[in-house]
Structure 1
């Protein structure tokens, strides 16, 4: 496995110079963040991003993410334009030598938490999802805005988009996902790009919106409906693991050979539909991290992996979940597990 690290570009306080000092990290996971969802990524901008990373001795191994336009998720006639743009972006990425793309199909909102700085017993803080608090939040009120959310919507537009989903069932959303995949995967095959869909986070409906990348059954259906090695998943331990009903080992078996990217993080279940993110250590949360890593190793996964959301520790301030120190500790912990696995 190739240990990698998420970098949010030149404005990220976690600089490339700092990242390259983390032992064992060679890959950078990034994106071009200023381009609106649906627009074509220019080849020149992709090359510029790649060269910036290579100048410090690292390399760009995963794009996370190329956003999917809402019209595609809604299945509107205008989706054809946005799908054509998506194909062109994949061609430009391949031309620049980038061959793994992480993306998601979550309607309107990306990953969701109720608290970005929930305290932990050791004095650090982390991201938390409290089901009761989420029930009482109106996403139109502006009470909750999170990193990763598309804030380009005006309030009126956001309401219109959310209203549009009232006619979209989970079955229909899955049909729209399959339509999208049947369109783009042939291009991904031609360009040797591995598409890795990220699970919904959390893996259940929120704010009355459907979600379909939630567990083993849906993953198996999606992979079978578009049966190509280029149609794969991002295996995120924290997203799938937020639901105690998800058996992570079974999911790995169901997606064997089609896992193209791994996010590794730990969560602690704190109540029905509730969880808090912890350090990567198994004893800190509810996920058997060494067991998951061994399962991935035993099933032949050798692709990019990155420590995912970390705690804020040692007084660090920054993008919630994406500070330097705890993710660096996570990378070291994961590399320790990998060292043991390679000795077997």
Structure 2
């Protein structure tokens, strides 16, 4: 496996120089964040980003994310234009040596939480999702806005976009996802870039919007839509593990050959439908990190891993979920488990 770290560009307080000092770190996972969703990423911008990263002694082999325009998810007549732009982005990223692209197909909202700085018992703060709080929220009122969300909702704004999904079903979303995949995977095969869809976070419907990348059955269905080694998964233990209905090690063992990118984090579930993000250490949450990594190891995983969201610890401030210290601890913990598995296998 190759250890990587999420980096949000030159304005990220977690600098490349700091990331480079984490033991075992090979590269960063990043993107071009100031280009509107659906537009083409100029090759010169991509190459400049790659040079910055390479000059710091790190690789840029994974992009997270190339966002999918809402018109594609909705299946509007304009989707073909945005799909063509998406194909161009795949080709341009391949020219820069990118080998894996992470994306998601969540309608309207990306990852969703009810609190970004919930105080845990140990004094650290973390991202949490409490069902009772989310159920009271009305996204149309503007009371809920999270980092990472695309807020360029187009003509008519968020309310209009949500209205477009009013009678939209899971089957509609499946059909539009298949249409998208049939167009882009052929390009991915051509330029040898592995596409890796991220599961829905959380893995259930929110605000009446359908979500489909949620369970083993749905991952199985997704992979069958276009049966290609270039149509694969970003397997996120924290997203899929937010519900006790998902057996994370079993999923990894079943889908391991189609997992191109692994997000590793722990969650604690105070009740079904709610979760708190926890330290990576197994006993801090409800996920067994040793069993999760054992499943990757025994599956022969050779893809990319990154420690996912971390708590804010030791007085650090910054982008919620993406501070340096706790994620660096997570990377070291993951590397320690992996090295142990390798040694025991000899």
TM-score, reference length from structure 1: 0.98
1:300-315 aligned at under 5 Å gives the runs 300-315=300-315
Q: In the alignment, what sits opposite 1:112?
A: 112
Give the superposed CA RMSD.
1.0
Instruction: Give the match's secondary structure for 2:164.
Output: helix
- Compare 243-252 and 51-60 and name the one that shifted more: 243-252
CA distance in 2, matches of 1:29, 1:246: 26
Instruction: Give the match's secondary structure for 2:256.
Output: coil
Q: In the alignment, what sits opposite 1:78?
A: 78
1:65-144 aligned at under 5 Å gives the runs 65-144=65-144
CA distance in 2, matches of 1:104, 1:60: 20
TM-score, reference length from structure 2: 0.98
Q: In the alignment, what sits opposite 2:157?
A: 157
- Compare 272-281 and 156-165 and name the one that shifted more: 156-165
Work out whether residues 128 and 277 of structure 1, in 8 Å CA contact, stay in contact via their aligned partners in 2: yes
Q: In the alignment, what sits opposite 2:27?
A: 27
Q: In the alignment, what sits opposite 1:331?
A: 331
Q: In the alignment, what sits opposite 1:174?
A: 174
Q: In the alignment, what sits opposite 2:230?
A: 230
Does 2:300 correspond to 1:295? no
- Compare 195-204 and 170-179 and name the one that shifted more: 170-179
Deviations 1:275-326 (A, max 9, x none): 0001000000000111000101101111110000000000101000000000
> Structure 1: where are the runs of 5+ without partners?
none
Deviations 1:122-167 (A, max 9, x none): 1001000000000000011121110111122379411111111112
Report the CA distance shift for 1:95/1:182 in structure 2 as closer, same or farther (over 3 A).
same
Residues paired across the two proteins, number: 344
Deviations 1:74-131 (A, max 9, x none): 0111100000000010010111111100000000000000000111111001000000
Report the CA distance shift for 1:261/1:145 in structure 2 as closer, same or farther (over 3 A).
same
Report the CA distance shift for 1:78/1:280 in structure 2 as closer, same or farther (over 3 A).
same
Report the CA distance shift for 1:256/1:231 in structure 2 as closer, same or farther (over 3 A).
same
1:233-248 aligned at under 5 Å gives the runs 233-248=233-248
Instruction: Give the match's secondary structure for 2:257.
Output: coil
